[in-house]
Structure 1
Amino acid sequence: MKLSSPRRRGTRAAAVTAGIASIALLASCSVANSESEGGGEGGAGDTLRVVLTQEPPTLEACDANLTSTGVVVRSTVTEPLVERNPSTGELEPLLATKWEQTGDTEWTFTVRDDVTFQDGTPFDAEAAAYSIDRAVNGDLGCNVEGYIFGDDDLEVEATDATTLTVTTPSPDPILPLKLSFIEIVSPETSNTEFVREPVGTGPYAIGEWQAGTKLTLERNDDYWGDAPQFADVEYQWRSEGTVRAAMITSGEADIALGLSAEDGIGDLGVSYPNNETIALRFSGQTAPLDDIRIRQAINYAIDREGIVSSLYPDGDKVAAQLIPEGIVGFNADLEPWEYDPEKAKALVEEAAADGVAVDTKILMPVRTAQFPKVSELGEVLREQLAAAGLNVELRMVDTTQHLQYQLSPFVTNEGPISMLIQHGNQAGDAQFTVEQYMLTGGAQAEFGDPALDELITTARTLTGDERQAAYEEVFAYERENVVALAPIAHQTVMLGLADRVTYEPNSSTGDELRIKEVSLAG
């Protein structure tokens, strides 16, 4: 079987809307009934109860790199060919048992021969080829396509039942890492529309999704790997951190994500560093944000130290770039922007004197419950930018609305936009950051700079020390010449963990909570 499709770019906004039209994104501020089935301390041990910050907007597997989707889907309902160990950064076998580069642009994978999908369909190289083609070459507008592969199509061929070859347009030294972001789905899955409930090979299958209320997973008794401990997983969602914390302390939930110490979690809170960085991302075609002086002014206007010390004192670090230390390409020589409100004002006044429409309203979309104290952060940013002489409107939006601003094609009829983003580089390599936020035409890039494009395209082909140095240069050039972003902080997060369960969080926990790694204590 050989799959090689021409580029067919669908409209991302339409694809997202179609994929989630039937899902009611409702939030509840009340604590769940402790007498409910599987709830309460001493409840049924065969159900793991997880409370999320928000309801997933979709469970479509090719959008599983979206945090709110991947936290349920990745490596739990569906699985990739290879899996990145978040602690070591090493790639480990999963549905593929081995892989090697067999040509300048060709990689060959050997896949397992003892796996079936949850619908009973056998997994083989042909099924793997179908999922890759669907996610990368198709017209669905999958998020993984823009995030990982950009404009590149792949040629995939199943040469026999267990052998898969993948050919890239140009040499790609990290293709196996990229493929770790493609979740494999049953070949019975539609390749013309998003699916609400994917069928994968993972240890759990989707049981029931009561939109706005809860989502349950059921253990896959035919799972090819070690059987997970819990028979069922029940997800609920609460936007208030104090409510999520209370569900842990009252015994109504086993794991709660997105907490802070101030939510009242006490000794049941576990802090851990993740790979997320928060920043403002600017649109660049409309005044006043099309003037670099205004973008520089915003960076000088932000009191990063004050934000971290007052809102996130439990481990967050002031950021100078969009990736944290430990990611390939991190530039240790870059210093965070200095907090200089007078310089910010002076730059705004200088631009105004040159005729830049600095009074134009700048919209700042902020996603509700995206991370702790996000609304407070939005208000602080609005006030600091206003102090520099800019007119900023803070707009709290839900996940669906936020995606319309976040992903190409971008909203263009609401004037200049400075949106608050939370970017996680789960792959551990700067390519996944710069190609979506800095490369002309990137899925989340609203700027274009030919010299920066050249630096990025050169860096992607390199390995080792040369790769590290090339991406360091990319971040330095963007900081000096483009200023498409205002990095704010590298985050440390907290989850709530009930006494009855054992789990060791890692840098990927917020993006893919692997239920197979959770067990009953004792």
Structure 2
Amino acid sequence: MKSSSASHALRSNPVILSTVAVGSALLLSSCSVANSEQAEGDGAAASDTIRVVLSQEPPTLEACEANLTSTGVVVRSNVTQPLVERNPTTGDLEPLLATEWEATSDTEWTFKLRDDVTFHDGTPLTAEAAAFTIDRAVNSDLGCNVEGYVFGDDDLVVEAVDDTTLTVTTATPDPILPLRLSFVEIVPTSTSTSEKVREPIGTGPYAIEQWDAGQRITLAAYEDFWGDAPAYSKAEYQWRSEGTVRAAMITSGEADVAMGIGPDDGVGDLGVSYPNNETIALRLTGDIAPLDDIRVREAINYAIDKETIVGSLYEGTDKVAAQLVPAGIVGHDEDLEPWPFDLDRAKELVAEAKADGVPVDTKITLVVRSAQFPKVTELSQVLQEQLSQAGLNVELKTVETSQHLQYQLRPFVTNEGPIALLVQHGNQAGDAAFTVEQYMLSTGAQSTFGTPEFDALIADAGLTEGEDRQAAYEEVFGYQNEHVVQFATIAHQTGIIGKSANVDYEPNSSSGDELRLSEMTPAN
């Protein structure tokens, strides 16, 4: 079935792609920011600039890395755009650079593109540019994160039939290909194919004006944008690692929007909670002793007091997790029970493994990314203490974003022994395929091990639709917890942003990964 053409501005009237079954089922530092010369606490931004403070500086704005939270929060839907996008509230796929799409065979999809779009360098959007972008992101040797996160090992065959017609062919039937392509941000054919670029050229409402490394990123509204002009002609991003500092910048009027605010950071009534799609967990290197013994991995799950973590560190705003995806994602199993906190059982399992010759005294490195989310430092210290109480030798290692990626993505760091990596996984797409294919397949971009049986279960689930798809992924998550245990899931998170009273913006489940500036307007 085809989707109908619709204006980008009319997102309140979503267009449902009926052949994609997921649709209906988804649900301070010494430096201040710009405009800080205004009266302290008045919260008023310069009328033409929206000021955003992040928890960290993006490592890159490369379009094919835009599914990384720290990159996507600036780039996605602001600087670059995909062919189609998922409405984060309804879960429906909606037209964007493509006006319609349909499955023209079991393995081929055809997309019709808009004919009134230009890139920020003035060149027109064509099917050739879309084909180039997909080929660059998915089929090349660049090692784009979107390839491992969304598409896996299989290449796509892309063809520009004419200026506005694109065909994409998959190796095997893929009922959610349009959803996967919503993660590919389209760039012009002038983009380098030999290396990743720091600052992309896109089709979005804003172009990158300047990036002062270590200080700020400035975007400027693109005058020839094909859609409605955004309310703010400028956007400025700065970053502060401390949540209390970000909150203070909101309450003092130095910033308009602050990301990653904790429940006790002091933002007060200017804090807005929203249904985050993030889950925090430990990923365990199950192929290196002692983590190669399932009893040790089970012990780690029993040793983590998740209820106390959620209640004490996060004031009950988060929810104890039994799986890597929260409610609202296709495949989430409401009946799957979280691992109970049972320190005695954890100690028994470690002792059993030790008696069988497993080197349980081997150092396990708990790798944590600084400023990744609120209270991450406190959480890492609690986890280290709780795993140590189970009889394991755990050393805490805190790293920056670029270093963390070396542990998170293939090829992994392999010379530091067993690793328990604290991950924050956000399923932006609303379908469990985007979680299990990268985190659980033996060859997944963020998976350290698996089994042939589990790989087959995951592959079969990916071919299903509708209620069968829900049931198939529920089985996958149950199998992981019982037979694989690569993960010790901790909590599903709830996001909080700080927002000036002078800005109208309603955050949604994608806001932590894709902060759409065009949806922000001055308050009346």
Q: TM-score, normalised by structure 2?
A: 0.93
Query: Which residue pairs with 2:186 in the alignment?
Result: 184
- Which secondary structure state, in structure 1, belongs to the residue aligned with residue 493 of structure 2? strand
2:402 pairs, out of 400, 403, 406, with 400
* 1:307, distance to aligned residue in structure 2 (A): 0.3
* 1:483, distance to aligned residue in structure 2 (A): 0.2
2:87 pairs, out of 81, 85, 88, with 85
Q: Is the 8 A contact 2:263 2:314 kept in 1?
A: no
Q: Is the 8 A contact 2:33 2:238 kept in 1?
A: no
Cα distance change of structure 1 residues 340 and 314 upon mapping to structure 2, 3 Å threshold: closer
* 1:499, distance to aligned residue in structure 2 (A): 1.1
| Percent of residue pairs bearing the same amino acid type | 69
Cα distance change of structure 1 residues 359 and 156 upon mapping to structure 2, 3 Å threshold: same
Counterparts of 2:235 and 2:34 in 1: how far apart (Å)?
17
* 1:31, distance to aligned residue in structure 2 (A): 5.7
Cα distance change of structure 1 residues 227 and 396 upon mapping to structure 2, 3 Å threshold: same
**Which amino acid in the other structure matches residue 32 of structure 1?**
S
* 1:443, distance to aligned residue in structure 2 (A): 0.2
1:464 pairs, out of 463, 466, 473, with 466
Greater mean deviation of Cα atoms: 312-321 or 205-214? 312-321
* 1:30, distance to aligned residue in structure 2 (A): 3.5
Greater mean deviation of Cα atoms: 221-230 or 311-320? 311-320
- Which secondary structure state, in structure 2, belongs to the residue aligned with residue 443 of structure 1? coil
Counterparts of 1:444 and 1:67 in 2: how far apart (Å)?
15
Counterparts of 1:43 and 1:488 in 2: how far apart (Å)?
38
Counterparts of 2:308 and 2:439 in 1: how far apart (Å)?
26
Deviating 4+ runs (over 3 angstroms): 28-31, 33-43
Q: Is the 8 A contact 2:45 2:255 kept in 1?
A: no
- Which secondary structure state, in structure 2, belongs to the residue aligned with residue 274 of structure 1? coil
1:50 pairs, out of 52, 62, 71, with 52
Counterparts of 1:156 and 1:240 in 2: how far apart (Å)?
44
Query: Which residue pairs with 2:202 in the alignment?
Result: 200
* 1:331, distance to aligned residue in structure 2 (A): 1.6
1:374 pairs, out of 368, 373, 376, with 376
Alignment of 1:293 with 2:292, yes or no, is no
After TM superposition, list the pairs within 5 Å mapping 1:150-165 onto structure 2. Answer: 150-165=152-167
After TM superposition, list the pairs within 5 Å mapping 1:477-492 onto structure 2. Answer: 477-492=479-494
Q: Is the 8 A contact 2:81 2:97 kept in 1?
A: yes
- Which secondary structure state, in structure 1, belongs to the residue aligned with residue 218 of structure 2? strand
Counterparts of 1:393 and 1:170 in 2: how far apart (Å)?
44
Query: Which residue pairs with 1:119 in the alignment?
Result: 121
Superposition RMSD in Å: 1.2
After TM superposition, list the pairs within 5 Å mapping 1:496-515 onto structure 2. Answer: 496-515=498-517
Counterparts of 1:190 and 1:334 in 2: how far apart (Å)?
46
Q: Is the 8 A contact 2:45 2:51 kept in 1?
A: no
Q: How many residue pairs end up in the alignment? A: 495
Q: Is the 8 A contact 1:81 1:93 kept in 2?
A: yes
Q: Is the 8 A contact 2:29 2:240 kept in 1?
A: yes
Q: Is the 8 A contact 2:83 2:98 kept in 1?
A: yes
Cα distance change of structure 1 residues 214 and 37 upon mapping to structure 2, 3 Å threshold: farther
Counterparts of 1:333 and 1:32 in 2: how far apart (Å)?
48
Cα distance change of structure 1 residues 371 and 267 upon mapping to structure 2, 3 Å threshold: same
Counterparts of 1:33 and 1:389 in 2: how far apart (Å)?
47
Counterparts of 1:194 and 1:188 in 2: how far apart (Å)?
12
* 1:33, distance to aligned residue in structure 2 (A): 6.0
Task: Spell out, residue by residue over 1:356-385, the C-alpha distance to the aligned partner (whole angstroms, 9 max, x if none).
Answer: 100010001111110000000000000000
Counterparts of 2:180 and 2:514 in 1: how far apart (Å)?
16
Counterparts of 1:457 and 1:35 in 2: how far apart (Å)?
52
Counterparts of 2:160 and 2:67 in 1: how far apart (Å)?
25
After TM superposition, list the pairs within 5 Å mapping 1:31-430 onto structure 2. Answer: 32=32, 36=36, 41=42, 42-430=44-432
- Which secondary structure state, in structure 2, belongs to the residue aligned with residue 432 of structure 1? helix
Q: TM-score, normalised by structure 1?
A: 0.93
* 1:261, distance to aligned residue in structure 2 (A): 2.5
Cα distance change of structure 1 residues 35 and 82 upon mapping to structure 2, 3 Å threshold: closer
Q: Is the 8 A contact 2:284 2:419 kept in 1?
A: yes
Task: Spell out, residue by residue over 1:161-213, the C-alpha distance to the aligned partner (whole angstroms, 9 max, x if none).
Answer: 11100000000000000000000011110011000110000000001000000
* 1:492, distance to aligned residue in structure 2 (A): 0.3
Task: Spell out, residue by residue over 1:381-436, the C-alpha distance to the aligned partner (whole angstroms, 9 max, x if none).
Answer: 00000000001011111100100000001111000000100000000000010011
Query: Which residue pairs with 1:12 in the alignment?
Result: none
Counterparts of 1:339 and 1:44 in 2: how far apart (Å)?
51
Counterparts of 2:390 and 2:198 in 1: how far apart (Å)?
45
Q: Is the 8 A contact 1:301 1:344 kept in 2?
A: yes
Counterparts of 1:369 and 1:43 in 2: how far apart (Å)?
26
Query: Which residue pairs with 2:24 in the alignment?
Result: none
Cα distance change of structure 1 residues 275 and 143 upon mapping to structure 2, 3 Å threshold: same
- Which secondary structure state, in structure 1, belongs to the residue aligned with residue 244 of structure 2? helix
Q: Is the 8 A contact 1:39 1:252 kept in 2?
A: no
- Which secondary structure state, in structure 2, belongs to the residue aligned with residue 384 of structure 1? helix
- Which secondary structure state, in structure 1, belongs to the residue aligned with residue 277 of structure 2? strand
Structure 2: 5+ residue runs without aligned partners?
1-27
* 1:29, distance to aligned residue in structure 2 (A): 3.5
Task: Spell out, residue by residue over 1:235-269, the C-alpha distance to the aligned partner (whole angstroms, 9 max, x if none).
Answer: 00000001000100010000000002211101100
